[in-house]
Amino acid sequence: MKVLITGGAGYIGSHTAVELLESGYDIVIVDDFSNSSPEAIENIKKITNKDFSFYKCDINSKDALSAVFSHEKIEAVIHFAAYKAVGESCRLPIKYYSNNISGTINLLDVMNEYGCKKIVFSSSATVYGEPEENPMTEDFPLHPFNPYGTTKYIIEEILRDLYRADNEWGISILRYFNPIGAHHSGLIGERPNGIPNNIMPYICLVAKKKLEKLSVFGNDYPTRDGTGVRDYIHVVDLAKGHLKALEYIADKGICDSINLGTGCGYSVLELVNAFSRVNNVEVPYVITERRPGDLAEYYADPSKAEKVLGWKAELGIEDMVKSSWKFISNQQF
């Protein structure tokens, strides 16, 4: 089966590309390198020792996308290409609505034109907004509260409408919790672009002495040690979930939303301590004010993924912090 991966040079896309190639799929990657680099493409080839077609292409250009579909016999798409910085989305909402939503509409239109009706969509647990309780199941109400999250929610709605209109479509909507970690080779991972917003890249740059100290955003949350609790999931586990999601929709019309998380929450301090202990490096930190818009605690109920996909996260916090550090230690800044 030939699978198109949009945003395949990015953090989750590159790990998914590796898993697909290692499972015998043919892949085609499109990426505009707006938040990634050609090196990731080379490293996917190095890890797997396999070749594939790559197109430097912005999914906002329908002509460019059509050209890819006319050259390649694409049977399914895994769609990652999107902007993802929450803070920036609050400052520049139009940039986010335009790129994430228009790009996806272009993609769906071209897929329809070429009779390709299988898509795995990269959504986020952020579509739930603040949960009334934990763990979070897929039938929780959807209340995104920043433009980035709203783009994911709107695309989910578009996909549900598409399936209502034509139930030949096979659509898997994957709601990720907090992906961290990197491939065990140390060749691909999350390379921060400027000062990171997310916690793991920040911890890594502090450990590498490129940043002075981590600010822990608040220690007065109603959690076990007062710091925010999240469901961190290893990016390699997450990537494997995409393969299962592809198999799930391969031979049927369906539109289903599925959480990809571990079901287990760690606090900021637990994560920092695990990182220091496992990697034997210091991570100086200071407690600061809460970050506006942050939630105290959320984690997934991952039981639907196990039931319908036969997928379960396997890698623990130690693998996550170890592989993140291995990747960043190899990078020049």
Q: Which residues are catalytic?
A: 148
Exactly one of 131, 149, 170, 241 binds ligand UD1 (CB under 6 A); that residue is 149
At 147, list the tokens: 């433009």
* Shortest separation between residue 110's beta carbon and ligand UD1, angstroms: 27
Using rule CB under 6 A, residue 81 touches ligand UD1: no
Residues in CB range of 72: below 8 A, 6 or more apart: 2, 4, 28, 53
Q: Nearest-CA neighbor of 26 among 55, 10, 50?
A: 50
CA distances from 69 to 29, 55, 114, 131, 187 (A): 12, 11, 7, 40, 29
| Chain length of the chain | 333
Residues in CB range of 217: below 8 A, 6 or more apart: 227, 228, 268, 288, 289, 290, 291, 294
Contact assessment for residue 14 and residue 238, using Cβ atoms and an 8 Å cutoff: no
Question: Given the complex with ligand UD1, which of 64 and 281 has the nearer CB atom?
Answer: 281
Using rule CB under 6 A, residue 215 touches ligand UD1: yes
Exactly one of 14, 104, 178, 279 binds ligand UD1 (CB under 6 A); that residue is 178
Query: Which span sits near ligand UD1 by CB under 6 A: 19-27, 256-264, 274-282, 289-297?
Result: 289-297
Using rule CB under 6 A, residue 238 touches ligand UD1: no
Helix axis angle, 199-207 to 268-279, nearest 10°: 40
CA distances from 80 to 77, 116, 124, 176 (A): 9, 17, 11, 12
Question: Given the complex with ligand UD1, which of 163 and 266 has the nearer CB atom?
Answer: 266
Exactly one of 29, 30, 74, 199 binds ligand UD1 (CB under 6 A); that residue is 199
Contact assessment for residue 6 and residue 107, using Cβ atoms and an 8 Å cutoff: yes
Using rule CB under 6 A, residue 294 touches ligand UD1: yes
Using rule CB under 6 A, residue 276 touches ligand UD1: no
Neighbouring-strand partners of residue 122 = 174
At 252, list the tokens: 């049927």
Exactly one of 54, 83, 96, 202 binds ligand UD1 (CB under 6 A); that residue is 202
Q: Nearest-CA neighbor of 1 among 323, 278, 243?
A: 243
Using rule CB under 6 A, residue 36 touches ligand UD1: no
Query: Which span sits near ligand UD1 by CB under 6 A: 66-74, 92-100, 185-193, 210-218?
Result: 210-218
Using rule CB under 6 A, residue 228 touches ligand UD1: yes
Angle at the Cα of 294 (from 290 to 299), degrees rounded to 5?
A: 125
Number of residues that bind ligand UD1 (CB under 6 A): 20
The Cα 247–Cα 35 span in angstroms is 29
**Contact flags string 117-136 toward ligand UD1, x per CB under 6 A:** -------x-x----------
Q: Nearest-CA neighbor of 231 among 272, 269, 265?
A: 265
Question: Given the complex with ligand UD1, which of 19 and 231 has the nearer CB atom?
Answer: 231
Closest residue to bound ligand UD1 by CB: 228
Angle at the Cα of 94 (from 119 to 68), degrees rounded to 5?
A: 35
* Shortest separation between residue 275's beta carbon and ligand UD1, angstroms: 12
Using rule CB under 6 A, residue 230 touches ligand UD1: yes
**Contact flags string 85-104 toward ligand UD1, x per CB under 6 A:** -x------------------
Query: Which span sits near ligand UD1 by CB under 6 A: 65-73, 164-172, 194-202, 274-282?
Result: 194-202
At 82, list the tokens: 């999107």
- Using CB under 6 A as the criterion, which residues of the chain lie in contact with ligand UD1 when the complex forms? 86, 124, 126, 148-149, 178, 197-199, 202, 214-217, 228, 230, 268, 291, 293-294
